[in-house]
């Protein structure tokens, strides 16, 4: 039986500073350094997608059962820092913009929104929780 707690992706080099990521379900996504005018996502952008996407899903699941949003946008941004600790992102800001319909159901969803955001930030979103907590990243080398 497979361990349903393990998450993994594999990257295969497709060219200079260009890879194709594959998940366990067979989905693929190009990943690049962002050079040469490529519109493909960079690893830093994918980290921000992970933070925003994870919370967006949480927030949607917690609010849309009350009312279907008319518009739902979520973004994540951070400044890239180069300092004595190496390259990293500064504080990440997630902006949630949701419009619910007028009426009782929309009012209930609007009322639940701050709590949904807090639950995602503080407990539910695996991605932002991993970024917030000290999480070791270990590297293993295998070479042929």
Indicate yes or no: pTM above 0.95: no
Nearest to 43 by CA among 18, 25, 62: 18
Cβ distance 43 to 31 under 8 Å? Answer: yes
Give the model's pLDDT for residue 101: 98
* Mean per-residue pLDDT over the chain, rounded: 94
Domain ranges of the chain: 7-41, 42-132
Q: 42-132 domain in CATH 3.30.300.20?
A: yes
């Amino acid at each position: 039986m497979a361990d349903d707690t393990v998450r993994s992706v594999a990257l295969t080099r497709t060219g200079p500073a260009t890879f194709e990521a594959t998940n366990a379900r067979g989905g693929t996504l190009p990943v690049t350094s962002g050079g040469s005018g490529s519109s493909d996502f960079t690893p830093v952008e994918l980290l921000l997608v992970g933070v925003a996407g994870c919370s967006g899903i949480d927030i949607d699941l917690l609010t849309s059962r009350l009312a279907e949003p008319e518009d739902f946008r979520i973004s994540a941004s951070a400044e890239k820092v180069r300092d004595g600790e190496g390259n990293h992102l500064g504080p990440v800001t997630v902006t949630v913009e949701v419009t619910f319909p007028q009426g009782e159901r929309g009012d209930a969803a609007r009322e639940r929104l701050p709590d949904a955001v807090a639950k995602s930030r503080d407990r539910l979103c695996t991605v932002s929780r991993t970024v917030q907590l000290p999480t070791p990243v270990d590297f293993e080398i295998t070479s042929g």
